[in-house]
């Protein structure tokens, strides 16, 4: 059994293949956290200690016992108002302004299926057990159900919260965190992934210090600036050794991840919806569901922790036809021609692509309304037949006649002020009455908290997909939310959450109706790269920055929480459009092959040698695509500090491996660099399929392989190994 309840001790144990998570309902009904780590079979309540701590209050139930205080005890779901002065996971404001919620254990049940979260993405699958723990505040008439899912084979636990106002007056949910981890002791580092547009998910590792450290987003989306995936790693943890914990938020809106070391060196980690602009009224009879958080523990370093999340995302988050299917190699029109195209140009690109073995052509921004730049027509999802020179149906037919599939770009959550939709329905755009709006790219955000707006956009996009026989859709979002206001909302503190429910509802309807479409998420590249979006789109455009050297670092940071199959990655033209850097075609291919592979350039401008290399890259990708899609990924260097970017993928049977290396620095008379491989069979013999050289797995992992210096900048190597 994955979930065991010790009735005598009132201890809950949640077991995965290699880990145990424990908590206890104590004599006063408070739910205390006991343990999360390597698998153990014994109850761990002996770890709790009780002392009379100055200025740490005692619950009334404890009477004269000054040694009992929630200010120092580890908790599962800490609440503001019970004498715990650390970061709270739950804040409830009453109508009179008080914060006095006091939750006590009332019961539990175990289900042999995964719990569901209406309207929200969540981990799914067979053989998943659920633990529901009911907490209650009788005075407020509030029931809080803590939800736990156990995915044994992935060493993943999930957490969420269901809140019901069963009999009380209206209350306001001011903070609802999905997960809390309390640690009694330990020296830990907080690993976060920060960035900006076109340079996302740079890894940052800082010691946990006294006080609060937090990252998050108040943008209405998870954002380029901080990712909703964090790691708490023991100070000596490395890629291949040491204890570490990961928490990933299955949500695409505003969030907060915070860690706090208290006065007794205890550490608390919390993940949940951002408190900013969140105040959710709960009337009698109403229910609120918090988004899900996925947790994992590794005793074998950061690499193994990544493997847990990679497998969970591939098998229990991504859905549909392309969940475990090799994706077609595509070429996107954006960096080839931007807005300057017609139907003939797209067909010409498709014919050029067909000659090179590319399988799908994507018509990016500019095919609808009067869209000739990024200042107009968002919301007008009618095909501009004058610009294309034909209907979308005719264009699609011409492209399919070349042997290629056809894809398009959309940005359904936005509206341009210069659009027919805005002129007809200005009230459908998020704007605070009487206040001039904050603009982004001269576009506003549609009120997806309003079901009428969502329904209208659904019908328009649906019509486009039907008439175009579309097989790929890039779903973009190119500005952050501001002026958060919905004319349909009776209380504006619920709008950001309801907006995300609207986005998810549209995604669910469209992906269900068009199951054969390959959906790719995007928000100016990686501005909404999270498990929530991956529930609907099995890949996300990793960054608008297509520079190969920057992408080595961007994809490195992304890999800590997300698999290669989720990363949209393309070969683009040089000098690169974002950095001006020049890298050779081989290096651009090696880097782009670390993800969902494609091209982002004008194929007609390639010379014959470059075309030959493209054909070789496409053939190589098809050869290794199953390995990239399903294999175990290993980071072999840190491209932020090392002269090399190096990584590899190994299949589960350890029979095939692909190692990739990119030289990031170039100096005169450079020393030889050596790269140690990982994940191979130590007793196995491996043949380099290009040179025929044979190596032992033990030698490759213990000593490594020399990377020979070549003249020129940003050289790269790929080594494809096969076990003999």
Residue that has been written with the tokens 């003249």 in this structure: 711
Q: How many CA atoms lie within 13 A of 376 on its CB side?
A: 13
Query: Exactly one of 152, 427, 610, 642 is catalytic; which is it?
Result: 610
Q: What is the DSSP string of 311-366?
A: HHHHHHT--STTSSSPPPPEEESHHHHTT---HHHHHHHHHHHHHHT--EEEE-S-
Asked about 530 being catalytic, the answer comes back as yes
Question: What are 619's two structure tokens?
Answer: 């053939």
Burial of 453 (0-12, 13-18, 19+ CB in 10 A): buried
Question: What are 59's two structure tokens?
Answer: 């619950």
Query: Would you tell me the crossing angle of helices 548-558 and 585-592 to the nearest 10 degrees?
Result: 10
Looking at residue 439, what DSSP letter applies? Answer: P
Residue that has been written with the tokens 């193994």 in this structure: 304
Residue that has been written with the tokens 């992992």 in this structure: 701
Answer positive or negative: Cα dihedral of 190, 194, 200, 205: negative
Which pairing describes strands 632-635 and 596-600: parallel, antiparallel, or unpaired? unpaired
Burial of 330 (0-12, 13-18, 19+ CB in 10 A): buried
Q: Is 483 in contact with 432 (CB distance < 8 Å)?
A: yes
Looking at residue 436, what DSSP letter applies? Answer: P
Burial of 683 (0-12, 13-18, 19+ CB in 10 A): exposed
d(CA 97, CA 654): 60
Asked about 508 being catalytic, the answer comes back as no
Query: Exactly one of 530, 544, 550, 600 is catalytic; which is it?
Result: 530
Q: How many CA atoms lie within 13 A of 548 on its CB side?
A: 31
Angle 357-523-562 (CA atoms, 0-180°, nearest 5)?
70
Which residues belong to the active site?
A: 530, 610
């Amino acid at each position: 059994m994955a979930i065991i309840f010790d009735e005598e001790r009132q201890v809950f144990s949640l077991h995965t293949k290699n880990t145990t998570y424990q908590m206890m309902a104590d004599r006063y009904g408070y739910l205390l956290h006991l343990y999360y780590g390597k698998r153990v079979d014994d109850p761990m309540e002996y770890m709790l200690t009780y002392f009379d701590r100055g200025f740490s209050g005692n619950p009334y139930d404890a009477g004269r016992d000054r040694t009992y205080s929630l200010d120092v005890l580890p908790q599962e779901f800490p609440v503001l108002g019970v004498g715990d002065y650390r970061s709270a996971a739950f804040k409830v404001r009453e109508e009179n302004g008080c914060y006095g919620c006091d939750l006590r254990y009332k019961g539990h049940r175990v289900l042999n299926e995964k719990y569901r979260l209406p309207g929200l993405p969540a981990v799914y699958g067979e053989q998943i057990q659920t633990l529901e723990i009911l907490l209650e505040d009788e005075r407020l008439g509030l029931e809080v159900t803590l939800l736990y899912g156990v995915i044994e084979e992935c060493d993943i636990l999930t957490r969420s919260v269901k809140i019901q106002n069963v009999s009380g007056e209206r209350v306001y949910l001011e903070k609802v965190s999905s997960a809390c981890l309390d640690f009694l002791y330990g020296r830990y580092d907080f690993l976060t992934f920060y960035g900006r547009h076109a340079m996302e998910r740079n890894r940052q590792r800082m010691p946990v210090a006294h006080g609060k450290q937090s990252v998050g987003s108040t943008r209405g989306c998870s954002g380029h600036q901080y990712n909703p995936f964090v790691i708490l790693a023991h100070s000596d943890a490395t890629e291949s050794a040491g204890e570490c914990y990961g928490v990933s938020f299955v949500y695409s809106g505003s969030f907060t991840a915070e860690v706090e070391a208290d006065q007794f060196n205890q550490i608390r980690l919390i993940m949940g919806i951002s408190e900013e602009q969140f105040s959710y009224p709960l009337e009698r009879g109403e229910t609120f569901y918090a988004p899900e958080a996925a947790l994992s523990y590794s005793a074998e370093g950061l690499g193994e922790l990544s493997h847990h999340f990679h497998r969970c995302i591939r098998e229990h988050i991504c859905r549909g036809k392309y969940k475990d299917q090799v994706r077609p190699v595509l070429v996107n029109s954006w960096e080839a021609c931007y807005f300057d195209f017609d139907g003939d140009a797209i067909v010409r690109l498709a014919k050029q692509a067909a000659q090179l073995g590319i399988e799908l052509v994507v018509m990016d921004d500019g095919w609808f309304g009067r869209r000739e730049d990024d200042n107009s027509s968002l919301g007008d999802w009618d095909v501009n037949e004058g610009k294309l020179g034909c209907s979308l149906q005719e264009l699609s037919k011409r492209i399919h006649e070349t042997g290629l599939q056809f894809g398009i770009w959309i940005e359904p959550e936005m509206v341009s002020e210069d659009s027919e939709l805005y002129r007809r329905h200005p009230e459908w755009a998020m704007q605070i009455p009487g206040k001039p709006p904050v603009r982004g790219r001269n576009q506003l955000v549609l009120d997806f908290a309003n079901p009428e707006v969502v329904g209208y956009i659904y019908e328009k996009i649906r019509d486009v997909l039907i008439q175009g026989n579309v097989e790929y859709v890039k779903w973009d979002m190119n500005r952050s939310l501001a002026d958060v206001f919905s004319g349909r909302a009776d209380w504006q503190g619920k709008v950001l959450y309801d907006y995300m429910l609207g986005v998810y509802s549209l995604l669910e309807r469209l992906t269900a109706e068009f199951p054969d479409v390959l959906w790719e998420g995007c928000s100016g590249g990686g501005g909404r790269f999270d498990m929530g979006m991956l529930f609907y789109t099995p890949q996300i455009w990793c960054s608008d920055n297509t520079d190969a050297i920057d992408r080595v670092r961007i994809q490195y940071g992304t890999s800590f929480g997300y698999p290669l199959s989720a990363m949209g990655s393309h070969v683009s033209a040089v000098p690169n459009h974002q950095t001006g850097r020049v890298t050779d075609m081989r290096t651009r291919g090696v880097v782009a092959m670390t993800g969902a592979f494609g091209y982002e350039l004008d194929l007609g401008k390639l010379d014959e040698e470059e075309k030959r290399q493209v054909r070789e890259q496409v053939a190589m990708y098809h050869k290794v695509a199953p390995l990239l899609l399903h294999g175990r990924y290993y980071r072999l260097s840190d491209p932020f500090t090392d002269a090399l970017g190096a990584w590899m993928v190994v299949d589960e049977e350890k029979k095939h491996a692909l190692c990739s290396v990119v030289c990031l620095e170039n100096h005169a008379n450079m020393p030889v660099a050596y790269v140690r491989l990982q994940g191979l069979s130590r007793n196995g013999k491996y043949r380099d399929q290009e040179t025929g050289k044979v190596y032992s797995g033990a030698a490759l992992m213990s000593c490594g392989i020399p990377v020979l210096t070549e003249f020129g900048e940003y050289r790269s190597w790929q080594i494809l190994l096969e076990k003999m």
